[in-house]
Structure 1
Amino acid sequence: MTTSPSLLAAQDLHVAFPGRHGAASARAVDGVELDIGAGEIVALVGESGCGKTTLARALLGLVPPTRGRVVFRGEPLTYSSRALKAYRRRVQLILQDPTGSLNPRHTVYDAVAEGLRIHGYGGDERAAVAEALSRAGLRPPERFLLRYPHELSGGQRQRVVIAGALVLEPELLVADEPVASLDASVRGEILALLLRLRADLGLSALVVTHDLGLAWNIADRVAVMYLGRIVETGAVEQVLTAPRHPYTQALLSVLPEAPGDPVVLTGEPPDPSRIPSGCRFHARCQILAGGEAERVGVADACRSEDPEVLGGGGEAQVACHWARAGITA
């Protein structure tokens, strides 16, 4: 749980994409409140298609919100070219595929220096690039400056991408599945690097992932997203050891070390252009299907009443009628 001041916040954030041929809009982000504190690492977790990457893109200013706003250091984000350029120097993106992020014709030096050139850096470019590579764990940096991406391992390429973000001295990193394409032996090294950057530089981070194990290893706080909305949030130890939302329980049940049988959810997530009434998870909910919601008198609410949007702060919260009725797994 964080007591640090908010660095970046989503406030009543909605992002909708128009449907084709007059179809209803797809509500990819459908009312999200989320704060990221200074020096805090927040993991945003959920299955594919839940809206977490769209939320991350909206926080970066890459997708303008349909409603609501993004606030950085107390100031609403504006979408002029000049304002976005200044903002993106302070908030940097790290993508999951380092090979796709790097131009195969550019050396490591050019890849890392690109951001400096875009932002008109007036200092010693070579020294700044070498420092960023060193911070990213590529030492001595002189060994890597003239190499090309194909001459590097997957882990080294990801470190180059991280160095390209660090060279601009950002305050926050948005890492979208930062270790998903890496071998298991390298993942721990990259996660340890992100933690070290937080300790050494005071960096904040939003880590977007479907991997709850990754969230456990790196995050201070976790936000679980389903169908465009955060359904459970709180300190990572609290959420992942005592999950209250049935969706979070199902995600955790399939981890290798989880006790009991895995919860197999029926069907696919609903179409974001046709979000069901009531709790958006109720059509797949094992608690409702098993009769437990009926026994405590909340089944009708599950089907007809939309749980309120969770606040963006660090306290433990859950958007579930059953959990709020005081039932524990």
Structure 2
Amino acid sequence: MSTTEEPLLSARGLRVAFPGRRGAPAARAVDGVDLDIRPGEIVALVGESGCGKTTLARSLLGLVRPTGGEVRFTGAPLTYTAKALKAYRKRAQLVLQDPSGSLNPRHTVYDAVAEGLRIHGYTGDERTAVAEALSRAGLRPPERFFLRYPHELSGGQRQRVVIAGALVLEPELIVADEPVASLDASVRGEILALLLRLRDELGLSALVVTHDLGLAWNIADRVAVMYLGRIVETGPVEKVLTTPHHPYTQALLSVLPESSDAPVVLTGEPPDPTHIPPGCRFHARCQVLASGAADAVADRCRTRDLPVLDSGGAAAAACHWSGARTEAGDGRGAVFGT
């Protein structure tokens, strides 16, 4: 995919902070992010729980208002009036992690899928639109599911209903937050194959939020690895996941079953987003710094902040150690940190 194509969705300098209680410092959940999603592209946003990836995804959809930076869709800045947000959410839809929690147990499948049409004042043939959405989501024949309730469906079927509810509005972008995390392993592949088919058939773009790098490998064109409110490595999925530059990405990859490297066990917990440390925000847990291999840049790691990664398609990592290795000529690619 061409990286020169105009982004469908873009974020620049995006920040989201939540005020602390009783004068406590604000929690900087998203602390400076540039991100592009191009037409027909699937981007995986990867990171451990609490890193800010769900807050970032919700801010991209206008569900959380940024405290800094901006979001643009088809080149126009997102505005936060009720009318503008309603129009935007017809074009950009959210698919949540837990299909059981996403579906009203008192609503039939038909009503669950038709709800978006009714909210947006759809004037066409509602029955035909619902049937087409269910069929695209892999529930065929769709009429067989119209009068069923969520408790009568399997987990995979419920997730397909949720996806159909997003598809019925014919969006250009889907943001899927851990779309297969609650499903059995046997069903996960089916849902991922469905998302890929929808991209190929409908030209859908997608942001897939996940903690699973294996999932990112199977579905994404590009990957963005997030840690403590900021993207620390990004690039084409094959490049990032086969030759990771950032120690955090290396640690995440090391625990995959297919990895040939010894598992890296990170010490401690991610720092509190109300007290983000100076320098590289990963330095307190960095296995490379702890081993002494990064002694030449240790002072930089602990004191010198790193810039926000560019949103372009080239691989890049926000890492002083990796930057120093690149300067030394080991061919590790484009990185920050010098």
TM-score, with normalisation over the residues of structure 1? 0.98
Instruction: Give the 5 Å matches for 1:256-267.
Output: 256-267=257-268
Give a deviation string over 1:210-262, Cα, whole Å, max 9, x none: 00000000000000000000000000000001100000000000001111210
2:31 is aligned to 30
Displacement after TM superposition at 1:307 (Å): 1.1
Displacement after TM superposition at 1:79 (Å): 0.2
Distance, in Å, in 2 between the alignment partners of 1:39 and 1:324 is: 32
Instruction: Give the 5 Å matches for 1:60-209.
Output: 60-209=61-210
Report the 3-state secondary structure (helix = DSSP H, G, I; strand = E; otherwise coil) of the residue aligned with 1:309. Answer: coil
2:246 is aligned to 245
Displacement after TM superposition at 1:2 (Å): 4.2
2:304 is aligned to 305
Distance, in Å, in 1 between the alignment partners of 2:166 and 2:94 is: 7
2:323 is aligned to 324
2:101 maps to a residue whose letter is G
Distance, in Å, in 1 between the alignment partners of 2:290 and 2:32 is: 26
- Aligned-CA RMSD value: 0.9
1:224 is aligned to 225
Give a deviation string over 1:41-99, Cα, whole Å, max 9, x none: 00000000000000000000000000001100000000000000000000000001000
2:216 maps to a residue whose letter is A
Distance, in Å, in 1 between the alignment partners of 2:2 and 2:227 is: 23
TM-score, with normalisation over the residues of structure 2? 0.96
Runs (5+) with no aligned partner, structure 1: none
2:274 corresponds to 1:278:
no
Distance, in Å, in 2 between the alignment partners of 1:11 and 1:73 is: 14
Distance, in Å, in 2 between the alignment partners of 1:307 and 1:293 is: 16
Displacement after TM superposition at 1:326 (Å): 2.1
Report the 3-state secondary structure (helix = DSSP H, G, I; strand = E; otherwise coil) of the residue aligned with 2:8. Answer: strand
Assess if the C-alpha contact under 8 Å between 1:2 and 1:40 holds in 2. no
Report the 3-state secondary structure (helix = DSSP H, G, I; strand = E; otherwise coil) of the residue aligned with 1:298. Answer: helix
Report the 3-state secondary structure (helix = DSSP H, G, I; strand = E; otherwise coil) of the residue aligned with 2:175. Answer: strand
The 4+ residue runs of structure 1 with deviation greater than 6 A are none
Distance, in Å, in 1 between the alignment partners of 2:98 and 2:277 is: 34
Report the 3-state secondary structure (helix = DSSP H, G, I; strand = E; otherwise coil) of the residue aligned with 2:294. Answer: helix
1:210 is aligned to 211
2:8 is aligned to 7
Instruction: Identify the structure with bigger relative contact order (alpha carbons < 8 Å, sequence gap 6+).
Output: 1
Distance, in Å, in 2 between the alignment partners of 1:100 and 1:7 is: 29
Give a deviation string over 1:244-291, Cα, whole Å, max 9, x none: 000000000000111121001000000000000000000000111111
Displacement after TM superposition at 1:118 (Å): 0.1
Displacement after TM superposition at 1:325 (Å): 1.1
Distance, in Å, in 2 between the alignment partners of 1:136 and 1:48 is: 28
Distance, in Å, in 1 between the alignment partners of 2:189 and 2:290 is: 38
2:315 maps to a residue whose letter is A
2:234 is aligned to 233
2:309 corresponds to 1:314:
no
Displacement after TM superposition at 1:298 (Å): 1.0
Displacement after TM superposition at 1:314 (Å): 1.1
Q: Give the number of aligned pairs.
A: 327
% identical equivalent positions: 80
Distance, in Å, in 2 between the alignment partners of 1:137 and 1:326 is: 48
2:271 maps to a residue whose letter is P
Distance, in Å, in 1 between the alignment partners of 2:42 and 2:96 is: 17
Distance, in Å, in 1 between the alignment partners of 2:100 and 2:314 is: 38
Distance, in Å, in 1 between the alignment partners of 2:90 and 2:197 is: 21
2:6 maps to a residue whose letter is P
Assess if the C-alpha contact under 8 Å between 1:223 and 1:232 holds in 2. yes
Distance, in Å, in 1 between the alignment partners of 2:306 and 2:70 is: 21
Give a deviation string over 1:139-180, Cα, whole Å, max 9, x none: 000110010001100000000000000000000000000000
- Return closer, same or farther for 1:2/1:265 CA change in 2, 3 Å cut-off: farther
Report the 3-state secondary structure (helix = DSSP H, G, I; strand = E; otherwise coil) of the residue aligned with 1:42. Answer: strand
